[in-house]
Amino acid sequence: MPDVTVDVSRAGFWDAEALSDVAAVTFPLACPPHASDEDIEIFINDVLSIDRFGEYLSEPTHTVLKAVENDTIVGYVMLIVGDPVDPDVAALLTPRPLLEISKMYVLPGQHGTGVAAALMNASVELARDIGCAAVWLGVNQANSRAQRFYAKNGFVQVGEKTFQVGTKTHHDFVMCRTL
């Protein structure tokens, strides 16, 4: 599939509904096969709703970047500045200050077109611009496609953490890229 021309820019409150729509389509694709539809729906309703995106977009430690092609949001990344809340994860990550890639999703028809790479490049550029020493993320242990993408972009596995989806606890790898 050829590379697309995509514009990556900071999302605004007016984008909350479109971001929530993209999240509802893309989040289930990143879940492990044993995640139930009910748990995925709980997560989408609790974490990826329009109201929650409105909160994220107003949070000073959060930045949401959107990838737009032909006036349509085709992917997004949510970035959080600061130390991880989980002390076990914080202990895994020694460089400071940190930028977390909390969420990074691209619509299925855009996989392999350069949209994810554009979002990643913009994320790393932002981290450098604000003086971060490293970028980190959690990725489900069953999501080998995402793991390959992150490794290709300079991330290395430094440990593990848990991630709650609805009523179930899942296991993620913690990956970090020093800048």
CATH topology of domain 7-178: Aminopeptidase (3.40.630)
Per-residue pLDDT of the chain (179 residues; tens, 9 = 90+): 455 589 999 999 999 999 999 999 999 988 888 889 999 999 999 999 999 999 999 999 999 999 999 999 999 999 999 999 999 999 999 999 999 999 999 999 888 889 999 999 999 999 999 999 999 999 999 899 999 999 999 999 999 999 889 888 888 999 999 99
Contact 143, 32 (CB under 8 A): yes
Task: Give strand pairing partners of 65.
Answer: 10, 77
Task: Give the integer Cα–Cα distance in Å for 133 and 128.
Answer: 8
Domain borders along the chain are 7-178
